Amino acid sequence: MTTILSLPKNAFKLLLLFALVLALIGCKNNASNEAAPTNYSEDENTVIIPEDFPAFYAKFHVDPEFQLNSIQFPLSGEGDELWTAENWEMHKPFNDNGEFKRDMENIAGIITETIMDNNGMFYIVRRFAKLGEEWKLIFYTQGTKLDGFVPDDGEEGQ
């Protein structure tokens, strides 16, 4: 005994259309998952840091010789700032004691780090880039937003 399923013509077309839509949605999700790089996040506030940067960054702050060799001297800053190996002061690791905040950005492979006190008055900005196979510090500046309000050396009390 053979049973034949009899559906109205419109119901069969709707069922076929529903199956087609499900198949397209499934293919679209698979294609977008395969095309998206695995190291990117959906959160636009997430900064993507290259895998080899954290190890470089850690060593940069604890090994003085490595630090000096990882700076593109003469190092420029804001305005006419120019840092040389002779006037360079070693940078220590960032201490997150709650008095300062640090932000990092990655724009076209240049890692920009901004460290600022919680009042927003004192800051440093450093930029790191990969030159060849090695990370280098390519820009450094420090300053205060009090420029013009804090007396220069020798002007205090006048």
Note the pLDDT tens digit of each residue in 15-53: 444 444 444 455 444 444 444 343 444 456 788 999 999
pTM, to two decimals? 0.64
Q: So where are the chain's domains?
A: 53-144
Phi (first) and psi of residue 115, to 5 degrees: -115, 130
Q: Topology of domain 53-144, per CATH? A: Nuclear Transport Factor 2; Chain: A, (3.10.450)
pLDDT digits (tens, 9 = 90+) for 65-101: 999 999 999 999 998 999 999 999 999 988 778 889 9
Cβ neighbours, 10 Å, residue 153:
5
Phi (first) and psi of residue 13, to 5 degrees: -65, -40
Helical residues (DSSP H) of the chain, grouped into ranges: 9-35, 53-62, 64-69
**How far is Cα 137 from Cα 139, in angstroms, rounded to an integer?**
6
Residue with tokens 């895998």: 51
